Structure 1
Amino acid sequence: MTYHADARPLYHAALAGGYALPAYNVCSLEMAKGCLDAAEAAGKPVILQTYPADIEQASPHVFAQLIRALADEVSVPVTLHLDHGRDVDQVIACLRAGYGSVMFDGQGLPFDETLRMTAHLAGIAHASGAALEVSAEGFGLPGADDNVLDTTDPQQARALRDAGADLIACAVGSEHGHASRLDLTLLAEIQTQAGGPLVLHGGSGIHPDDLQAAVRQGVTKVNIGSALYRAVRAAWMATPTLPTHRAGYASIRAAVKGAAAPFLDLLHPQRNSA
């Protein structure tokens, strides 16, 4: 059994070991299996994560049971994370289902309210034996539906850490679904103030040199979504030429594996396992 119901040891090991975990957004068996195939081939730990729109298709319980079952068939550490959780009830439902890590997205809230919710949810997550990620959305990280950049304030990042957040999502130049370069000077300031583990969203488009530099500055989780979605769409477009639906599913799994694999080497280049 390689499923980690508490993701905190994975994050701490990554921080201590100087590498980052790719966190892949998945919404189907084929996507999850493709990512795990890539992780198993590389011999490296992995995070799978669901977006709120994904768990409208199937409940947190269904995703948690799916990922646990798939984790039984691989040798690398695996955990499941809620990405961009905006609703407190949804965050709690994922914790009850057995997610190892959850994110609270405070986009649009005043900072004081985000700070209050961080302390509240940190208590719940830690009592559940799980990790809490808090984003700087609303005063930092660009959201999935709003890519207007507003960089993270290092002092606010420190306050979120002090309130109990295990991971701080930083806005230092990355955008969901777009090519980007990072403000590494700002990232260093955030690391100095808040320490690690830190998180970057929009990892599909971040320049590889910047990603590796960010890992050296305390980033231990990098979200990857758009690269996988594009691979799925390309494979799906080709399915009319395939003989059966099963051949189509196999094509999608292979495409996702191919899209996921480079990030495992990029973020975790010198270790074979956690």
Structure 2
Amino acid sequence: MTLVTLEQAFQPALRDGYAVAGLVTLGWEDMRAYVAAAEAEGVPVILQAGPSCRAHTPLPILGKMFTHLAEEASVPVVAHLDHGYEADEARLAIDSGFTSVMYDGSRKPLTQNIDETAAIVEMAHAAGVSCEGEIGFVGYSGGEQSAGTDPDEAAQFARDTGVDAMAISVGNVHLQQDVGDGLDVARIRAIEAVTDVPLVIHGGSGVPLAQRQMLSRQSRVCKFNIGTELRMAFGTALRAAVTSDPDRFDRVQIMKDTHDPLVAATRSVLQGFKPAQR
């Protein structure tokens, strides 16, 4: 059994200079490939159930899937609720075997975000579960615009909520298909100067590889969320599988052909978060 909390996954990452990938899952095929890739690379992995995943599959089922994969895995696995918006949702995730929950109050006024996040932290910690919060707002490519994290507000948020990890807005964007210009490292350093809470970068697909590596090894960024990059790899593999034989209709056989390409793409992502060679 290698199911661990977010806090347990982060302690060695901080000590040894690496980050852990929070991989956004949509179904059995991708989560299984993610664990296989993590095992091949010998690194921990965070399986994340975001809103679109939860709309497709109920949390109790996702909890069993994550737990089963963790029980069979040779590396630490975190079962994480990504972008939870309601206390009841966090409670259900905890009851379903998740070891980490994120409460996203980033669209709300600071005081309300702090109060609501603190309540989720208290509930999670009482159950032995980690909690991630978000301060500042990470926007969406082609959608809502970001609001950068204010370091002073980040310090207050970390202090008053007791979160185990803090998602920040420093130039990162959700659902970005192309690599962007990079994150605002000066803002990251300013946040690090006022709090020692592990930091999280959502929208990691748009962060250049060199910057992923640098921050993994030389900052308190312990987690990069990766979704779009691997969704695109899965979509490419699925499209090839469907078109390779127009007479094939068995979805199990079609889905099977996505496994190896997705494992390879995931391994490439995971390699970018490893510690420097010694």
TM over 0.5: yes
Tell me which of the two structures has the higher relative contact order, counting C-alpha pairs closer than 8 angstroms and 6 or more residues apart. Answer: 1
**Distance in 2 (alpha carbons) for counterparts of 1:84 and 1:144:** 17
Residue in structure 1 matched with residue 239 of structure 2 by the alignment: 237
| Shift, 1:145, TM fit | 8.2
Residue in structure 2 matched with residue 193 of structure 1 by the alignment: 194
**Distance in 1 (alpha carbons) for counterparts of 2:78 and 2:141:** 22
Residue in structure 1 matched with residue 123 of structure 2 by the alignment: 124
TM-score by length of 1: 0.92
Q: Is the 8 A contact 2:105 2:117 kept in 1?
A: no
Q: Is the 8 A contact 2:67 2:97 kept in 1?
A: no
SS at match of 2:23: strand
Residue in structure 1 matched with residue 266 of structure 2 by the alignment: 260
Q: Is structure 2 residue 222 aligned with structure 1 residue 225? A: no
Residue in structure 1 matched with residue 211 of structure 2 by the alignment: 210
SS at match of 2:92: helix
SS at match of 1:126: helix
Q: Can you give the 5+ residue segments of structure 2 that lack an aligned partner in the other structure?
A: none
SS at match of 2:73: coil
Letter in 2 for 1:16: R
SS at match of 1:188: helix
SS at match of 2:137: coil
SS at match of 2:257: helix
Q: Is the 8 A contact 1:232 1:256 kept in 2?
A: yes
SS at match of 2:62: helix
Identity in percent: 30
**Distance in 2 (alpha carbons) for counterparts of 1:97 and 1:271:** 38
Residue in structure 1 matched with residue 28 of structure 2 by the alignment: 29
Q: Is the 8 A contact 1:33 1:70 kept in 2?
A: yes
* Per-residue CA distance 1:52-105 (angstroms, 9 max, x = gap): 221122211111111111222221111111111112211111111111111111
Q: Is the 8 A contact 2:44 2:77 kept in 1?
A: yes
Q: Is structure 2 residue 118 aligned with structure 1 residue 112? A: no
**Distance in 2 (alpha carbons) for counterparts of 1:214 and 1:48:** 21
**Distance in 2 (alpha carbons) for counterparts of 1:166 and 1:253:** 33
The alpha-carbon distance between structure 1 residues 107 and 176, as it changes in their structure 2 partners (threshold 3 A), is same
Q: Is the 8 A contact 1:22 1:222 kept in 2?
A: yes
* Per-residue CA distance 1:91-127 (angstroms, 9 max, x = gap): 1111111111111111321111001012111100100
Letter in 1 for 2:212: L
**Distance in 2 (alpha carbons) for counterparts of 1:254 and 1:55:** 25
Equivalent of 1:153 in 145, 150, 154: 150
| Shift, 1:187, TM fit | 0.3
**Distance in 2 (alpha carbons) for counterparts of 1:28 and 1:140:** 27
Letter in 1 for 2:207: I
Residue in structure 2 matched with residue 103 of structure 1 by the alignment: 102
Greater shift, 102-111 or 142-151, is seen at 142-151
Residue in structure 1 matched with residue 185 of structure 2 by the alignment: 184
Counterpart mapping for 1:55-70 below 5 A: 55-70=54-69
Letter in 2 for 1:90: E
**Distance in 2 (alpha carbons) for counterparts of 1:197 and 1:250:** 37
* Per-residue CA distance 1:163-203 (angstroms, 9 max, x = gap): 21111101111111322211101101111112231000111
**Distance in 1 (alpha carbons) for counterparts of 2:193 and 2:260:** 40
Moved over 3 A (4+): 143-147, 269-272
**Distance in 2 (alpha carbons) for counterparts of 1:123 and 1:144:** 33
The alpha-carbon distance between structure 1 residues 271 and 247, as it changes in their structure 2 partners (threshold 3 A), is farther
TM-score by length of 2: 0.91
- Matched pairs, number: 269
